[in-house]
Amino acid sequence: MRATTGIVTALMAAAVPVLAGPCRPGKDAFCTANSLVLSALKLDGAATAFCSSYLSISTVTIDETVSVTPAASTDVVSSTLTASTVTSTLVSEELRSSEATVTSTAISYSTTTTTLTTSTVTLSCLDSAYTANAANSASASVAAASSSSVLVSVPKKRTLPPAIGGPPAEIPVDWPQSAVSQICSCLALPTPTYTNTVHVSLSASVDTVTATVTVTPSATVTSSFVSVSTSTYTSVSYTISVVVETAYATATTIATSGAAAYRRYNSPYDANIADGGFTSDYFGPGNPTRPAVLSSGALASLTFSTPSWPGSDTYLYLANGDTFDSAQAALLFQGFFVARQTGTYTLSSSGDYIDNYGYLWTGDVAYSTWDDSNTAFQASRTGAGYYGGSVAVTLNEGDAIPIAWLWANGGGVGQSWFVVSSPDGSSTTDTTGFLVPACSADTFA
């Protein structure tokens, strides 16, 4: 802790910035009103660096060149010859160099966001068609943040440029940025100056004078050159600051233990004759004399039959414990078909195995507007012949579409026959795991 901190802590805790206004003109009034804080800052060596950065006082760079020209010199060489004078010249050159390195630091900020799935919500019922995405896959451990993502941010008292550290302890933490800027201005900080001086040494000139005397028969002239070069290198140090933000999401999946709800009606039709007059409209919401519901329940599989079909008795024993004479019965199933794989599913029934009627609706019509005119297919096994039917639906894994399945018997033993062919090529008459009921009894009619 700085020595001045202990001295002014008590005073700073109660300090309130007195900003310049109509009654205190200019910066001098503010500096005078806050002289205690200003005095403490002047004693703190770190305050100068903080305020220079906070006020964005840039360094002024002055480039200057200093040329040094050595004084000219004169060499006199004497020689003595008895005949002619022989002069030889020796040339020497010296190269001097110096290097200056200036280091600067660049800071790069990078932010990455990681989304983690912290929990999975399993839907056990639906009230509308459902479209899956990456965040709803049970197998997705990392997904894009959704509407249920929770991002937590921590409020900050004062926002400073990323390169500035925290303010000195002498400046109260509850001062606004305008007060911090003014108290820094009160320090009257000088503009820092960086002078870049390049020294250039010019070659010294050497004048050679040759004199002939009667002592030595030769003369030697020495010419010297001194070259000085200065090189400046800038070294940049890069610092990368990485901020990691973590978002948390909740994945959604649909339960595989669902079932389709059904209502049981009386079926007055005779399937043993060619023209039994069967119509699904009789059981539909558009019929003002729609028959009464005899019982209701839910089944996971749409395939079922009387014991030892096509023989034995006409009593039907359903998996949920519901038991009744099925000779003149009709069951209307409604719910949602859930894709467990991505691709095209084929839903079908066979005229050889349906006993006696099997009508399917998919999409919006399955809610309340279903009738003979908008079925996905109609399968029947009657005196008029055996007819199967099928429909193909393309879905992504986790998608759900509404369906309605009407099975009706026209006398004798009975069987509902429903086949699901999956995108991977497998087929099954057991729809367990593909169905989920509506959350509300009013979803379907």
- Determine what percent of the chain is predicted with pLDDT higher than 70: 60
Whether 319 contacts 299, CB under 8 Å: yes
pLDDT of residue 358: 98
DSSP state of 179: H
Band (229; pLDDT cuts 50, 70, 90): low
The predicted model gives 38-61 an average pLDDT of 82
What stretch of H or E contains 278? none
Q: Please give the pLDDT value at position 431.
A: 97
pLDDT at residue 26, as a whole number? 61
Listed by start position, the domains of the chain span 260-436
Paired strand residues for 77: 210
As a whole number, mean pLDDT of residues 279-290 equals 96
Decide which of 191 and 406 is more confident: 406
Report which DSSP code applies to 130: B
Domain range 260-436, its CATH number among 2.60.120.1560, 2.40.50.140, 2.60.40.420, 3.40.228.10? 2.60.120.1560
Q: Which helix (H) or strand (E) holds 185?
A: helix 177-186
Whole-number pLDDT of residue 141: 31
> Which residues of 306-365 form beta strands (DSSP E)?
315-317, 323-325, 329-338, 343-349, 357-362
Is the per-residue pLDDT at 302 higher than 80?
A: yes
φ, ψ dihedrals at 255, nearest 5°: -60, 145
Residue 221 has pLDDT above 60, yes or no: no
Higher-pLDDT residue of 257 and 96 is: 257
What's the mean pLDDT when you consider all of the chain?
77
| 101-115, 171-185, 391-405, 428-442: least confident range | 101-115
E strands in 276-428: 295-299, 304-305, 315-317, 323-325, 329-338, 343-349, 357-362, 377-382, 385-387, 389-395, 400-408, 415-416, 419-421, 427-428
pLDDT value of residue 120: 61
Instruction: Find the mean pLDDT for residues 119-135.
Output: 74
Evaluate whether 179 touches 151 at the Cβ level (below 8 Å): no
DSSP state of 135: G
Residue 158's pLDDT band (cuts 50, 70, 90): very low
Q: Which residue has the higher pLDDT, 387 or 130?
A: 387
Q: Quote the pLDDT of residue 297.
A: 97
pLDDT at 303: 98
> Which of 80-84, 95-99, 189-193 shows the highest mean pLDDT?
189-193
Say whether pLDDT at 323 is over 80.
Answer: yes
Evaluate if pTM is beyond 0.85.
no
What band does 93 get if pLDDT is binned at 50, 70 and 90? low
Look at residue 20 and tell me whether its pLDDT is greater than 50. no
More confidently predicted of 72 and 328 = 328
222 pLDDT tier (thresholds 50, 70, 90): low
**Mean pLDDT confidence for 363-387:** 97
pLDDT value of residue 404:
98
**Residue 200 scores a pLDDT above 80:** no
